[in-house]
C-alpha cells in the first residue's frame, strides 16, 4: 500500500511541477511589462526600471522560476499588479465563497446521483429505470449556466424565494450566505449528478453480471441484500474514478456559475484579473486549482486503496 501510494504521490508532485513550468512559461511568452502595467503609462523609465529590479524581473529565467515556485510553497503567490496587495490575500477573500460552493455542489450531486443510480440498476428495464435514465439523459445535455438562468428566473424572479445573485458575505450570518449559494450549487450539481447516476447504474449492472454475485445468490441472499452487500462496494471503484475526473469540471463549472450569480469567488476574480491583464493573479489561481485537482485525484487513489484489498497488500 505504501509503495502504491508513494508512487501516486510522486506522480502527483511531478504533475504539479510540470504544470508550474507550463504556467510560468506562458507568463514568459506574454508581451508587455508588468512593471509598466503597475506604474501606468506616465511613469518614468527609471521608476519602471527600479520596480523591475525590485520585482526581480531582471534576473535570469531559472532564478525567477525558482523564486516563484519557492514563494508558492510558502503560500506567497506574489503581489497583484493592479491591486498591489499580495495575491494570497485576494485568493483568501474569494475562496471563502468558492470552496463552500464547490463542496455543497459535490455533496448535493453525490447525494442525488448514487441513490438514483442504485435505484435504476435495481429496477433495470422497469418503468422506474426508464424514467430515471431518460431524466439523466436530459440532465447530461443541460448546460449548467443555462440551468442556472432558469433557476434564477423561476425561484428568484418569479417566486422570489431566494436572491437572484450577489453574496451578502459570511459576516451577514450563515443562513443568508448559504441561501445565496443554494441556487448556484443546485445549478452545478444537477448536470453532474446526471452523469454520475448513469455511471453508477452501469457500474452496478456490470458488477451484477459477475460470477461472485451468483455465488452470493447461491448462498441464499435475496437480490436486495446481494446488491447492498456485494455489488455496491465493487461498483464504487469506477464511480470514484469518474468522481475524480469530474472534479475538474466542477471547478470549471464553479468559475462560470459565479459569473451567472455575481458571486465574488475565485471565478469572478480570475476573469477580472484576465480583463485587467493582472496575470500573476491568473497564474496563482490556475496553479491553485490545478493543485486542488491533483490533490483530489490523490484522495481518489487513497480511497481506491482503502476499498480494494488487492492494492493494499503490496506483494
**Dist CA 106 CA 147 (whole Å):** 17
Q: Name the residue nearer to other proteins (CB basis): 30 or 107.
A: 30
When asked if residue 218 is in the footprint of other proteins (CB under 8 A), the reply is yes
- Taking CB under 8 A as the binding criterion, the range among 2-10, 40-48, 84-92, 106-114 that sits at the site for other proteins is 2-10
Label residue 217 exposed, middle or buried (CB < 10 Å: 0-12, 13-18, 19+): middle
Q: Name the residue nearer to other proteins (CB basis): 7 or 172.
A: 7
Report in angstroms how near the CB of residue 47 gets to other proteins at its nearest.
26
Among 13, 30, 85, 161, binds other proteins (CB under 8 A): 30
Q: Name the residue nearer to other proteins (CB basis): 122 or 173.
A: 122
Among 118, 132, 251, 263, binds other proteins (CB under 8 A): 251
| Residue 86 φ then ψ, to 5° | -60, 140
Q: Cell 443541460 belongs to which residue?
A: 142
Among 93, 177, 249, 276, binds other proteins (CB under 8 A): 249
Report in angstroms how near the CB of residue 286 gets to other proteins at its nearest.
6
For 196, the grid coordinates are 454520475
When asked if residue 174 is in the footprint of other proteins (CB under 8 A), the reply is no
Report in angstroms how near the CB of residue 159 gets to other proteins at its nearest.
13
Residues numbered 269-308 forming contacts with other proteins, rule: CB under 8 A: 270-271, 274, 277, 279, 282, 286, 289-290, 293-294, 297, 307-308
Among 66, 115, 170, 219, binds other proteins (CB under 8 A): 219
Q: Are the beta carbons of 122 and 224 closer than 8 angstroms?
A: yes
Q: Which long-range contacts (CB under 8 A, 24 or more apart) does 167-173 make?
A: 167/97, 167/261, 167/262, 167/263, 167/264, 170/96
Q: Are the beta carbons of 91 and 266 closer than 8 angstroms?
A: yes
**Dist CA 82 CA 291 (whole Å):** 25
Among 67, 99, 142, 177, binds other proteins (CB under 8 A): 142
Strands (E), 77-152: none
Among 43, 51, 55, 245, binds other proteins (CB under 8 A): 245
When asked if residue 150 is in the footprint of other proteins (CB under 8 A), the reply is yes
Q: Name the residue nearer to other proteins (CB basis): 49 or 308.
A: 308
Which residue, among 184, 193, 189, 190, has the nearest Cα to 267 in the 3D structure?
184
Kind and range of the H or E run holding 50: helix 45-55
Residues numbered 109-128 forming contacts with other proteins, rule: CB under 8 A: none
When asked if residue 92 is in the footprint of other proteins (CB under 8 A), the reply is no
CA angle 38–42–48, rounded 5-degree value:
50
Q: Are the beta carbons of 304 and 238 closer than 8 angstroms?
A: no
Amino acid at each position: 500500500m505504501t509503495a502504491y501510494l508513494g508512487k501516486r504521490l510522486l506522480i502527483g508532485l511531478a504533475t504539479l511541477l510540470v504544470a508550474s513550468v507550463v504556467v510560468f512559461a506562458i507568463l514568459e511568452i506574454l508581451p508587455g511589462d508588468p512593471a509598466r502595467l503597475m506604474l501606468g503609462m506616465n511613469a518614468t523609465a527609471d521608476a519602471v526600471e527600479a520596480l523591475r529590479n525590485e520585482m526581480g524581473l531582471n534576473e535570469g529565467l531559472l532564478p525567477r522560476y525558482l523564486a516563484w515556485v519557492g514563494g508558492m510553497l510558502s503560500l506567497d503567490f506574489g503581489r497583484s499588479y493592479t491591486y498591489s496587495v499580495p495575491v494570497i490575500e485576494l485568493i483568501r477573500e474569494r475562496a471563502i465563497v468558492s470552496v463552500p460552493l464547490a463542496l455543497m455542489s459535490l455533496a448535493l450531486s453525490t447525494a442525488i446521483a448514487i441513490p438514483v443510480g442504485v435505484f435504476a440498476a435495481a429496477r433495470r428495464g422497469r418503468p422506474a429505470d426508464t424514467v430515471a435514465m431518460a431524466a439523466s439523459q436530459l440532465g447530461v445535455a443541460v448546460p449548467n449556466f443555462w440551468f442556472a438562468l432558469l433557476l434564477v428566473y423561476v425561484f428568484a424572479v418569479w417566486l422570489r424565494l431566494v436572491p437572484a445573485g450577489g453574496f451578502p458575505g459570511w459576516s451577514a450570518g450563515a443562513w443568508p450566505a448559504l441561501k445565496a449559494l443554494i441556487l448556484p450549487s443546485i445549478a452545478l450539481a444537477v448536470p453532474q449528478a446526471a452523469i454520475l447516476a448513469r455511471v453508477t447504474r452501469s457500474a452496478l449492472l456490470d458488477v451484477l453480471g459477475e460470477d461472485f454475485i451468483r455465488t452470493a445468490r447461491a448462498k441464499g441472499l435475496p437480490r436486495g441484500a446481494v446488491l447492498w452487500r456485494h455489488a455496491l462496494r465493487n461498483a464504487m471503484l469506477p464511480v470514484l474514478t469518474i468522481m475524480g475526473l469530474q472534479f475538474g469540471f466542477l471547478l470549471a463549472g464553479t468559475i462560470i456559475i459565479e459569473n451567472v450569480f455575481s458571486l465574488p469567488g475565485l471565478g469572478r476574480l480570475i476573469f477580472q484579473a484576465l480583463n485587467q491583464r493582472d496575470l500573476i493573479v491568473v497564474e496563482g489561481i490556475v496553479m491553485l486549482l490545478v493543485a486542488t485537482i491533483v490533490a483530489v485525484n490523490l484522495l481518489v487513489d487513497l480511497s481506491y486503496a482503502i476499498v480494494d484489498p488487492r492494492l493494499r497488500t503490496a506483494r
